[in-house]
Structure 1
């Protein structure tokens, strides 16, 4: 396996004085990183570039303070724990950590106390999910500080997460799917995208990569990006007839959800399109991730076991499958449960075989004892 670059996107070049320098490039964006590869200043300029803006720092200016939050974050970005994360996960973590770094980067790591973490989380009380995400990253950072012998304890671990209401992303129901298909007819990219994700349970990051190369013997096969680095199991799903009807009309030389130029679409781009499509269908509560949950819901309502559902969605633990299928057919299952209680197949009442001493009560009070 080819080793992952420590600073993806950074390339070297020689200036007019034949001095080796480094530049970050991604798409049409570029930013200078300096000549001191791997230094604290280089890392800070690299992080600025990754987040889409050019650093205003001058080489040698604003050196990172030793044992500060900023230095801890810079070292964490170079740690195996961080580098082993998927690029998409790294990007999400950076977005959270960099906001924290901007406000508290110059503060000593050893001085952080539990009350400081609680105050940081309290500032995000109106957005409990964001508060909990920050708490998770602080726990990771403080654990890393312990590994560096900068601290002996982790104050973030002693705090409690916020309770998050609701059930996460909304699960599409059948009426919403019908309404979407009524707006976006067969042959449109919107129709293709929703059908693909609905009948595969694929996440956006995986759906954009699926194409004819993933079809084999009437099945779609792929490995989820989220679990690929840990040797995730192969997801192999028989192609449903409704999905086959859509895929058979697509070109065979490009991904199923390709751009007009035939290139793979980005997960973010698909997300933006999904938001546009659902608004056009007057379904603002629906999202791409909700289709993944809808796939699991349909399977649960059809009687599939948790293991069978996990084989389709690619989940490695049944606990996650349970989260996706909690609301699956509750009303129907409740009706079925009560029907089983009311009558047996032969029409007799399905009363439990209680012991005779509970069925036949003794109406004669025992002598010598008060009856309350």
Structure 2
């Protein structure tokens, strides 16, 4: 299956100074996106380019048709619900919403029915996670339409999410972790990045921002970009050993060769390359966050304790991350209780006396 481009319409070119740049082109419209592919500035320019392409040439007419999907999206972007989100969440939501608006922007919101939503979601059936993300955003948008009295109900709420195979991003196991470190030795950026994420459970967007300014004594402290949750944890000895090689005047632990802060997408792309080099196609940066939670669960940490490290706001999110580890641990614990009962009671698997006599 052909891989879908992360930024449709964006393509690279080399300027007269030999620098690699990116440009957005579609339908005769062009806009410059800069040189740092996937950076925050790149994404802002890309979103503006999408907007410019949608409205270009509409001289003397309204930018959006009243009551249309585009008008609803524009209203939602100005709402307290959207403005109150973190910058990273806004970018994620926009990425899903803008693709939907490109395809259905001119359609009237009042005429959208449950069957229409189901058809739109069915077009993404081959990628159920993407379909479910779109469903969530449609629920949000149509809830906003209800709040504006544009329609009396939300047809997206009566649809069902697609069943996902597995538990989302693959959780690294110990063999995969060992294989990565076998290929990427200490002293490399790859080794430092994975060690940082593995021993903190930090997400990409926060990993690229961490530096010595976040080290307070023997603790690492930061505030999650996605939720705003404050996180404070002791620095694991293995992580402390790796960070000791970082220059004290470095902007961040994972800065670029030029001393600039690395972008989350840039780190994600490099992680993909590093994992491929190690022969780990299922592994990703987010899987390290889950691996950290798994290790904590296997060590006997409670959901509250794990949440204090990962910065999750609800225990349900923590339990989703650690379900596999907890099931295995509880099974071992259950069998341990049955096999070694107190007061000399019969152990699990010990044959009854009559069975022993028949077998004698």
Category of TM-score, reference length = shorter chain: 0.7 to 0.9
Residues 116 and 59 (structure 1), Cα distance of their counterparts in 2 relative to 1, 3 Å cut: closer
Q: 294, 301, 304: which one pairs with 2:301? A: 304
Distance 1:79 1:219 in 2: 38
Per-residue CA deviations over 1:157-184 (Å, capped at 9, x if unaligned) read 1111111121111111111111000000
Aligned positions of 1:95-134 closer than 5 A:
95-134=95-134
Q: Choose from 215, 219, 237 the match for 2:233.
A: 237
1:287 to 284, 289, 297: 284
The alpha carbon displacement at 1:47 in A equals 7.9
Cα separation, 2, equivalents of 1:70 and 1:219: 47
Whole-Å separation in 1 of the counterparts to 2:225 and 2:195: 20
Q: Is 1:92 aligned to residue 89 of structure 2?
A: no
SS class of match (1:304): coil
Q: Counterparts in 2 of 1:57-96, with a 5 A limit?
A: 57-58=56-57, 60=59, 63=62, 64-96=64-96
8 Å contact kept, 2:138–2:156:
yes
**1:251-277: CA deviations, max 9, x gaps?**
111200011111111100000000000
SS at 2:260 equivalent: coil
Q: What corresponds to 1:155 in structure 2? A: 155
Determine the C-alpha separation between the residues in 1 that align with 2:236 and 2:88. Answer: 30
Q: Which residue of 2 aligns with 1:342?
A: 339
Q: Distance in 2 between matches of 1:67 and 1:47?
A: 26
SS in 2 for 1:325: helix
Distance in 2 (alpha carbons) for counterparts of 1:284 and 1:53: 37
**What RMSD, in angstroms, separates the aligned Cα atoms of the two structures?**
2.4
Q: Structure 1 residue 329: deviation in Å?
A: 6.3
Q: Distance in 2 between matches of 1:77 and 1:26?
A: 22
Q: Which has the higher contact order (CA 8 A, sep 6+)?
A: 2
What is aligned with 2:146?
A: 146
Q: Aligned runs of 1:154-193 on 2, under 5 Å?
A: 154-193=154-193
**Distance in structure 1 (CA, Å) of the matches to 2:184 and 2:244:** 18
Per the normalisation by structure 2, the TM-score is 0.80
Query: For the Cα contact (< 8 Å) 1:340–1:350, is it kept in 2?
Result: no
* Counterpart in the other structure of 1:250: 246
